Amino acid sequence: MNDEALLERLRSEGSRSPADVVLLVDAARLAKAESDNMFQPIQSNVLNQAIPERFRSKNNLWYGFSARARVIVYNKENIKPEQVQTYQDLASPALKGQVCTRSGSHPYMLSLMSSLISHLGEYGATQWAKDVVANMARAPKGGDTDQIRGVASGECGVALSNSYYYVRLMRSNKPEDQEVVRKTGLIWPNQQSFGTHVNISGGAIAANAPHADKALQFLEYLATPEAQTYFANGNNEFPVVAGVKLENAELEKLGSFKQDVTPAQVLADNTRLTQQIMDKVGYK
Ligand SMILES: [Fe+2]
């Protein structure tokens, strides 16, 4: 079941819901569920000590358990890596007709926009979104993997994707996926400035959890080193607990990078404004 279907089910079940733990991806989606009163506050010194502050809600309503980066993928034949080192580069007139992304209303794009609002200001981020729309190779459609495939086929020169989709292709045995990886390059954006946008997979205790105590135990378990490795590897993501090693050869191959340290809470707080901007500039 995907996140949207899961939230719809929780909503319709209301106070009769048997759910204890809710796992969701992206700060924008966690924020939406929080504002729909779907979580209950968590009191846990274990979680507060293990999970860095920037990966959790200020009201202790949700915690991040793994992290993903939003990266730039480019076609090695048609685009030079120097052209696409930053998110701002995607708005450059030099990339007219080259840019592909998924829908501007998707949480991954809303959260990225939230971070750009915090770095470039509302005006700068709005201008960015407008210019990216003007650079699009095609109207947004599909998920991040579809954008990567579009880059490999040459329909797109450059695209945005969450890091784990690229790693999934790297780990695939299918010749067509290997071909996609061969034809594309990955950039960690904004290494000379504010760093690459990082988001979370998060967990919370359902507002109507019948077993809130067990739910808390499970979330605390997710913060242990063993669970961190297992949970992160399950989706080729990064652990969030300090000192937990990556045990993922393909992900390690991509090297380390400077992370944007904008707190997930700030990304969450900006989401409503971000959607308004996307609507205003016609980022469908
Ligand atoms: Fe995803």
pLDDT in tens, 198-224: 999 999 999 999 999 999 999 999 999
pLDDT digits (tens, 9 = 90+) for 222-233: 999 999 999 999
Lowest mean pLDDT among 29-38, 80-89, 131-140, 181-190: 29-38
On whether both 207 and 249 belong to a single domain, the answer is yes
**DSSP 8-state symbol, 256:** -
Packed helices 175-183 and 163-171: angle between N→C axes, nearest 10 degrees: 130
On whether both 181 and 91 belong to a single domain, the answer is yes
Average pLDDT over residues 105-134: 97
On whether both 225 and 247 belong to a single domain, the answer is yes
On whether both 162 and 270 belong to a single domain, the answer is yes
Going from the Cα of 235 to the center of ligand 1, the distance in angstroms, rounded, reads 9
Q: What percent of the chain has pLDDT over 90?
A: 97
Counted domains in the chain: 2
Average pLDDT over residues 29-44: 95
For residue 210, give the CATH number of its domain: 3.40.190.10
Going from the Cα of 71 to the center of ligand 1, the distance in angstroms, rounded, reads 13
For 73, residues 6+ apart whose C-beta sits below 8 A from its C-beta are 147, 148, 151, 158, 159, 160, 161, 166, 184, 185, 186, 187
Q: How many other CB atoms sit within 10 Å of the CB of residue 37?
A: 9
On whether both 27 and 61 belong to a single domain, the answer is yes
Burial class (CB in 10 A: 0-12, 13-18, 19+), 39: buried
Going from the Cα of 207 to the center of ligand 1, the distance in angstroms, rounded, reads 25
On whether both 46 and 181 belong to a single domain, the answer is no
Residue 93 has pLDDT above 90, yes or no: yes
Going from the Cα of 117 to the center of ligand 1, the distance in angstroms, rounded, reads 22
The mean predicted confidence, pLDDT, of the chain is 97
pLDDT digits (tens, 9 = 90+) for 8-25: 999 999 999 999 999 999
What is the CB-side half-sphere exposure of residue 277 using CA atoms within 13 A?
26
On whether both 98 and 187 belong to a single domain, the answer is yes
Structural domain including 242 reads 3-66+198-258
Q: Which two tokens stand for residue 262?
A: 């904008």
pTM more than 0.85:
yes
On whether both 139 and 166 belong to a single domain, the answer is yes
Sign of CA dihedral 153, 158, 159, 162: positive
Q: Closest Cα to residue 263, out of 242, 283, 229, 240?
A: 240
Average pLDDT over residues 141-168: 98
pLDDT, position 106: 96
pLDDT digits (tens, 9 = 90+) for 247-261: 999 999 999 999 999
Going from the Cα of 245 to the center of ligand 1, the distance in angstroms, rounded, reads 22
The owner of tokens 């080729």 is: 236
On whether both 121 and 169 belong to a single domain, the answer is yes
Residue 1 has pLDDT above 90, yes or no: no
On whether both 140 and 274 belong to a single domain, the answer is yes
The owner of tokens 């991954």 is: 108
Contact between residue 53 and residue 147 where contact means Cβ atoms under 8 Å apart: no
On whether both 53 and 95 belong to a single domain, the answer is no
pLDDT, position 192: 98
Going from the Cα of 10 to the center of ligand 1, the distance in angstroms, rounded, reads 20
pLDDT, position 9: 93
Report the distance separating Cα 200 and Cα 81, nearest Å.
Answer: 27
Going from the Cα of 162 to the center of ligand 1, the distance in angstroms, rounded, reads 7
On whether both 103 and 136 belong to a single domain, the answer is yes
Average pLDDT over residues 141-157: 98
